[in-house]
Amino acid sequence: MKLKQNVLALAAPWVFLLGSLAWAGAAEAQTATPAQPAKPAGTNSATKPATKPATKPAADGAKMLSGGTGTARGGALLSRDQLRECFSQEASIRTRLVEHEGGRAPLDQEKQSITTEQAALRAERAPLDEAKKLTEGFSERLKTFSAKVQDWSARVEAHNANKAASASAQERSQIALNKEREDINKERTELEAERTRIGGSTEELVRSYNAKAQAVDARVTAWNERNNGWNDNGQLLDAERKNWVSGCADRRYREDDETAIRQGK
């Protein structure tokens, strides 16, 4: 006797996908801690542009912004306009160096905050990894169940195609297959319930973790951009300082011109 068609309905491949539970990976936010840049040359007291009084003016009254007497170096004297520009550049560089150094502390504080947030995010990985193991184990059980359904389907087809078996043998085969169908339906119901249970908790964990990881990634990217900008600005200031040293500090000027400039002339 052939089994009823509704029995064969289970023979179709039962492909079980997690759907909304598709594993997002929940990748760790950037693990490389943003490196603190070295302070640019020229930010210490030894290398900052400075105006020091000459130890002893030369006979022609020449001095140097570097503090020399003006006799150790040759070269044309700075004109009063050139000296005025050198003083202006020195003041500008000093001010911007102070502002630049002031921007280091906020960057370091934010770096520490990001590091703390990354540590907290890593701590959240433990339950997430456990949930992932449950999902992977569930997927393996689904594969086993699918293989069982396919095997049962093949035996149903063989039963229906068997014309040589006796009526009693056919009946015994049908009873066994019907019993197995009941077991399969029971197992399917249990798997669907487990899918709902795992899905609800795991999906929320993955969604929450990924949102936090993306937020940390954004903070790290923004910090790196600002940190790189701080480094670049430091290099520009150092280059400007070196140009000031060669163009102003190591050039001679007349003390009378300095006096006049200080008097606003």
Instruction: Give the pLDDT confidence of 143-165 residue by residue, as tens digits.
Output: 999 999 999 999 999 988 888 88
By CB atoms closer than 10 A (0-12, 13-18, 19+), residue 69 is middle
Per-residue pLDDT of 10-44, as tens digits, reads 333 322 222 222 223 333 333 333 333 333 333 33
Higher pLDDT: 55 or 57? It is 57
* Percent of the chain with pLDDT strictly greater than 70: 73
The two tokens of residue 47 are 């290398």
Q: E strand or H helix at 63, and its extent?
A: strand 62-64
Q: Which are the contacts of 20, defined by CB distance < 8 A and separation ≥ 6? A: 199, 203
Q: Cα(262)–Cα(255) distance, rounded to whole angstroms?
A: 11
Give the CB-side neighbour count of residue 67, counting CA atoms within 13 A: 5
Q: What percent of the chain has pLDDT over 90?
A: 37
Residue 69: its pLDDT value, please? 52
Residue 192 has pLDDT above 80, yes or no: yes
In a 13 Å sphere around the CA of 85, the CA atoms on its Cβ side amount to 9
For 215-255, what is the HEC assignment? HHHHHHHHHHHHHHHHHHHHHHHHHHHHHHHHHHHCCEEEH
- How many of the other CB atoms lie within 10 Å of CB of 85? 14
pLDDT the model gives residue 12 = 31
Summarize the confidence of residues 212-216 as an average pLDDT.
94
pLDDT digit string (tens) for 59-111? 456 788 776 555 445 557 899 999 999 999 999 999 999 999 999 999 999 99
- Provide the pLDDT for residue 123: 87
Inform me whether the pLDDT recorded for 185 exceeds 60. yes
Give this prediction's pTM: 0.56
Q: Do 219 and 114 touch, CB atoms closer than 8 A?
A: yes
